[in-house]
Structure 1
C-alpha cells in the first residue's frame, strides 16, 4: 500500500472549503489530494491517516457491525464468569450484574447498560443505516449526515471494549482469592474487542462524508 502526503499548497481551483481537509490530531489544513484505492493520504506532521479508500469497504463494515451487534446481545445474556469460593458457586451475566444494584446505586446500573450495551449498539445501528444505501448505489437515507455525525460523537462513550479489558485485569487479581471460570460472554467480549478495532481501522470517514454530500 502506498502512502501519499497531502498537499499544503492550495490553488485557485481548490480554494473552496469542499477541497480542504483538516487533520483531526494536529489541526493542520490540507488541500484534498487524489487518492486511489489501496492508497493513503497521511498528515505530514503527525502521520495520522486522513484518507484511506478501500474497495468494498462498505460491505465489510456492515458485516463487521452486524457481527459486533450479535456479539453484544449474546454477551449480555450468556454468563460472563463463574466463581467458586468456599464451596459456593455463582454465575453472573452482564445483565444480572447491572440489575443487581438497587437504591442510589441504580444509577450505576443505568450507566453500565448504556456505556457497554446501549451506546455501542446505537452507534453500530446508525453506521449500518448510513452505509446500506451507499453500497447499493442509492441516494443517502434521510438524515444520514446527522446519523453519521451522531455515530462519530458516540465513539468516546462506547466502552464495551474498555469494559472487557477492565474485567480481564480485575479477574486476574480475583483469581488469587477464588476459582474463576470465564463464561461464553467473556470470550465473546474478547472477540468483540478485536472486531471493534478492525472496524475503526477499516473505516475511511472522509470517503463516507463525501458520499453523503453527493
Structure 2
C-alpha cells in the first residue's frame, strides 16, 4: 500500500522556525522538499515528482535490522577464512579464500593501494557498516537513550553505503566463473554460498531500513 506523498510546504515565507524546519523532509533523488506526514502502518510516503520512497515505517523493523546486521558480520568474517572456490585444470587444483583474493597483489609495492582498496570494499566496509547499524539501533530498540555520537555513526554508515561492495564482488565472481567453466573445473566453497546469502541480506536490509524513522528516533 502506498500513501500519498508528504504535503509540500509553503517556502515563500521569509523565515521558518526551528519547529517548521524539523518537520520538513527532502527527497534524496530530486531534492523536492515536503512537510513530513507519518503514513499509516504498512503504507509508504513517496515523492510526487520522482516516486522515491521517503518514509516507509514497519513494525519491529529495528529488531530485524539488528538480526540482519549480526548475520552480515558473522557471514563476512567466516567467508574471509573459508575457501571461496577451487579451480582444477590439467591435473592441478588450487583453492582460494576471499582474503587471499584481496591480498593477491600485496607482494607488489606499486599495487599495495589496490590491495587495500579491494580488502576494504569487500570486507572491512561492509563489516563496519553493520557494526555502526548495531551501535545506532540497539539502544533505540531497547527503549534507551541513543548512544554517544549515534547521529555521526549513522551518518557515516549512510556515507559508506555506496562503497560496501561485498555483494558486487559475489555477483562479479559468479559471472567470471561461468565464463571460465569451459576451461577448468570450478567447485564452489562455503564462502561462495555465504556471499550469495549476503546478497539477499543486503536487499532485506534496504527493505527494512526507514532512514526517516531512524533520524526521528535519534532526534527524540
Asked whether the two chains share a fold, i.e. TM above 0.5, the reply is: yes
Of the structure 1 ranges 10-19 and 133-142, higher mean CA displacement relative to structure 2 is found in: 10-19
- Give distance in 2, aligned partners of 1:190 and 1:63: 17
Specify every segment of 5 or more residues in structure 2 that has no aligned partner in the other structure, as ranges: none
Match of 1:62 in 2: 66
What is the Cα deviation at residue 112 of structure 1? 1.4
CA distance in 1, matches of 2:169, 2:27: 29
Q: Which runs of 4 or more aligned residues in structure 1 lie more than 6 Å from their structure 2 counterparts after TM superposition?
A: 11-15
The worse-fitting range, judged by mean Cα deviation, of 95-104 and 81-90 is 95-104
> Unaligned 5+ residue runs, structure 1?
none
Measured after TM superposition, the shift of residue 33 of structure 1 is: 1.1
Residues 10, 31 of structure 1: 8 Å contact kept: no
Residue 33 of structure 1 corresponds to which residue in structure 2? 37
Q: Kindly state the Cα deviation for residue 107 of structure 1 after the two structures are TM-superposed.
A: 2.3
- What is the 5 A alignment of 1:126-145? 126-145=132-151
Given that 2:132 and 2:154 are in contact with CA atoms closer than 8 Å, whether structure 1 keeps it comes out as yes
Say if 2:146 is the partner of 1:153.
no
Please give the alpha-carbon distance, in whole angstroms, between the structure 1 residues aligned to 2:8 and 2:18.
Answer: 11
Deviation track 1:14-70 (CA, whole Å, cap 9, x = no partner) reads 971111100001111111113232111011111111001111110000001111111
Give the Cα separation in 2 of the matches to 1:9 and 1:112.
Answer: 45
Counterpart in 2 of 1:200? Answer: 206
TM-score, structure 1 normalization: 0.95
CA RMSD of superposed structures (Å) = 1.7
Tell me the number of residue pairs that the alignment of Structure 1 and Structure 2 aligns: 214
